[in-house]
């Protein structure tokens, strides 16, 4: 019987984050994502040259709202982002660090932009893997801080986010000036996702230096709609739409650990089982679903979730049978 294969005319862009000493940076390794010429993990149908990358979140302030089961692996370093990042690399084997500058936000510390840049420098000095720099989601503070962070990390080829439809110019200029990749975020809307990519490109940014954040949801909290939007983005890329051909980053940890199923104590819901297992599994299942929708980078929080997702990627990136 003849094997039926889908034939695509396009491909996902290839994006590399991080720069080694030879490339002008200080990283000992880089991460390359994208390059797919088929739907996720359909090896028989096309090329999937690079594994999805796994990042662990590091916050620049104490995560007081985190459940105890999530704080526990980082208990001794929660007040030191540089040490926290080093632990994620050396003990837990993250491919990347996602430094979240939460303390910039007026509701979570309102710290000075200069402090954010100092934290970026400290994390870079403490680690050797590529860095994602994530703003606080307050446009005014991000516009002040992220250009300083980009400058502090000049030469390191970081991935910095995020640019939105209403707030992209300042970050695009900063990333262009200091040669970083940029995250384009949209509110689970394929049309806005494309529009943000177009706007950033019109600033002189190469489409090959953009990564899409479609603003994903967690398992049980809108993930079906998220999946459909990500799938449509990937189909558009494979059909040859250049403004949809960017790799995708999924903010899995942030979304997953806000759900009651992940963080509720066993005493509250005895039938749900131990939160020390349930929470990481909820995060891992969310990540695996989004990888199969087209995710190329997933930001995680619990080391157990990272371990389980990595094993699943190992299986999916095997011989394709």
pLDDT digits (tens, 9 = 90+) for 105-160: 999 999 999 999 999 999 999 999 999 999 999 999 999 999 999 999 999 999 99
Backbone φ, ψ for residue 26 (5° rounding): -125, 5
Instruction: Give pLDDT, residue 97.
Output: 98
* Contact call for residues 132 and 55 (beta carbons, < 8 A): yes
Residue 90: how many other CB atoms lie within 10 Å: 13
Token pair of 45 as six digits: 């149908």
- pLDDT tens by residue, 25-72: 999 999 999 999 999 999 999 999 999 999 999 999 999 999 999 999
Compute the half-sphere exposure of residue 197: CA atoms within 13 Å on the CB side of its CA: 26
Question: Is the confidence at residue 320, as pLDDT, over 60?
Answer: no
Percent of the chain scoring above 70 in pLDDT: 99
3-class DSSP state of 21: helix
Cα 142 to Cα 137: distance, rounded to the nearest angstrom: 7
Instruction: Give pLDDT, residue 321.
Output: 45
* Domain annotation covers residue 75: yes
Backbone φ, ψ for residue 32 (5° rounding): -115, 130
What letters, b where the CB count within 10 A reaches 16 and e where it falls short, cover 255-275? bbbebebbbeeeeeeeeeeeb
**Number of domains the chain contains:** 1
Range of the domain at 149: 28-316
Question: For the residues 174-184, what does the mean pLDDT come to?
Answer: 97
Cα 305 to Cα 150: distance, rounded to the nearest angstrom: 30
More confident residue, 1 or 75: 75
* Domain annotation covers residue 298: yes
Question: Is the confidence at residue 1, as pLDDT, over 80?
Answer: no
Instruction: Give pLDDT, residue 222.
Output: 86
Token pair of 57 as six digits: 């979140």
Token pair of 240 as six digits: 């040859």
DSSP annotation of 52? P
* Domain annotation covers residue 192: yes
Question: Is the confidence at residue 5, as pLDDT, over 90?
Answer: no
Question: For the residues 185-211, what does the mean pLDDT come to?
Answer: 96
Query: For residue 4, what pLDDT band results from cuts at 50, 70 and 90?
Result: confident
Cα 223 to Cα 146: distance, rounded to the nearest angstrom: 30
Instruction: Give pLDDT, residue 314.
Output: 97
* Domain annotation covers residue 6: no
- pLDDT tens by residue, 182-194: 999 999 999 999 9
Place of tokens 């994502």: 33
Place of tokens 């503070």: 141
* Domain annotation covers residue 12: no
Question: Is the confidence at residue 3, as pLDDT, over 80?
Answer: no
* Domain annotation covers residue 202: yes
* Domain annotation covers residue 239: yes
* Contact call for residues 19 and 30 (beta carbons, < 8 A): yes
Token pair of 220 as six digits: 């049980």
Cα 200 to Cα 195: distance, rounded to the nearest angstrom: 9
> Looking at residue 116, which CATH number applies to its domain?
3.20.20.20
**Average pLDDT, rounded, for the chain:** 96
Alpha helices for the chain (secondary structure H): 68-71, 81-90, 113-126, 139-152, 169-178, 190-202, 223-238, 252-256, 260-263, 275-293, 303-316
Instruction: Give pLDDT, residue 2.
Output: 73
Question: Is the confidence at residue 319, as pLDDT, over 60?
Answer: no
Which of 210, 196, 209, 133 lies closest to 164, judged by CA?
Answer: 196
Question: Is the confidence at residue 262, as pLDDT, over 50?
Answer: yes
Cα 232 to Cα 309: distance, rounded to the nearest angstrom: 23
Place of tokens 């089961």: 69
């Amino acid at each position: 019987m003849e094997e039926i294969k889908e034939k695509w005319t396009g491909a996902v862009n290839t994006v590399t984050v991080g720069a080694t000493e030879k490339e002008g940076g200080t990283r000992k390794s880089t991460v390359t994502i994208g390059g797919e010429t088929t739907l996720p993990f359909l090896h028989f149908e096309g090329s999937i040259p690079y594994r999805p990358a796994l990042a662990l979140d590091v916050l620049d302030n104490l995560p007081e709202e985190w459940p105890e089961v999530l704080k526990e692996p980082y208990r001794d370093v929660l007040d030191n982002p540089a040490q926290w990042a080093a632990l994620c690399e050396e003990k837990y084997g993250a491919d990347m660090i996602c430094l979240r500058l939460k303390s910039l936000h007026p509701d979570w510390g309102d710290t000075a932009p200069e402090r954010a840049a100092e934290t970026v420098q400290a994390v870079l000095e403490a680690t050797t893997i590529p860095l994602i720099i994530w703003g606080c989601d307050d446009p005014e503070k991000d516009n002040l801080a992220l250009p300083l962070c980009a400058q502090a990390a000049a030469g390191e080829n970081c991935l910095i986010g995020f640019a939105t439809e209403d707030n992209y110019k300042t970050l695009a200029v900063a990333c262009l000036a200091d040669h970083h990749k940029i995250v384009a975020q949209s509110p689970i809307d394929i049309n806005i996702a494309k529009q943000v990519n177009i706007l950033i490109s019109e600033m002189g940014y190469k489409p090959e230096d953009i990564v899409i954040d479609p603003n994903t949801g967690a398992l049980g909290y809108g993930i079906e709609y998220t999946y459909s939007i990500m799938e449509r983005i990937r189909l558009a890329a494979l059909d040859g739409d250049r403004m949809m051909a960017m790799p995708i980053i999924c903010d899995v940890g942030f979304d997953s650990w806000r759900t009651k199923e992940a963080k509720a104590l066993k005493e509250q819901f005895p039938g749900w089982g131990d939160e020390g297992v349930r929470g990481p599994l909820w995060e891992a299942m969310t990540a695996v679903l989004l990888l199969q929708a087209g995710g190329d980078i997933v930001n995680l929080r619990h080391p157990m979730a990272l371990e389980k997702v990595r094993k699943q990627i190992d299986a999916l990136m095997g011989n394709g049978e």
